[in-house]
């Protein structure tokens, strides 16, 4: 895959991660929250796999993408 396509895919994953994180800040029914948490986890894993493939040299960044999401209580 050409680097431009890989960077575009990384942007897409990042944008979906941001969108799901914002949605999780709202009050949601439990089944919607579970669905979004699952999608968020999948997007984080996909972004990490793509990042590791595109940039295989460690850049001193944390290995895991961590997100702090406030629970709607």
Per-residue model confidence (pLDDT) at position 59: 56
Global pTM value = 0.72
Q: pLDDT tens for residues 49-61?
A: 998 888 777 555 5
Q: pLDDT tens for residues 31-50?
A: 999 999 999 999 999 999 99
With beta carbons less than 8 A apart as the criterion, state whether 24 and 69 touch. Answer: yes
User: Would you put residue 60 in left (φ > 0), alpha (ψ -120 to 50) or beta?
Assistant: left
Report domain extents, the chain.
3-54
Q: pLDDT tens for residues 17-33?
A: 999 999 999 999 999 99
73 pLDDT more than 60? no
User: Would you put residue 55 in left (φ > 0), alpha (ψ -120 to 50) or beta?
Assistant: beta
- Cα separation, 5 vs 19, in Å, equals 21
Q: Count of residues for the chain?
A: 73
């Amino acid at each position: 895959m050409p680097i431009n396509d890989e960077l575009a895919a990384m942007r897409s994953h990042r944008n979906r991660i941001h969108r799901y994180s914002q949605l999780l800040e709202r009050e949601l029914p439990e089944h919607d929250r579970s669905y979004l948490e699952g999608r968020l986890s999948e997007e984080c894993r996909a972004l990490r796999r793509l990042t590791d493939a595109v940039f295989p040299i460690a850049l001193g960044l944390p290995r895991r993408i961590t997100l702090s999401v406030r629970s709607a209580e």
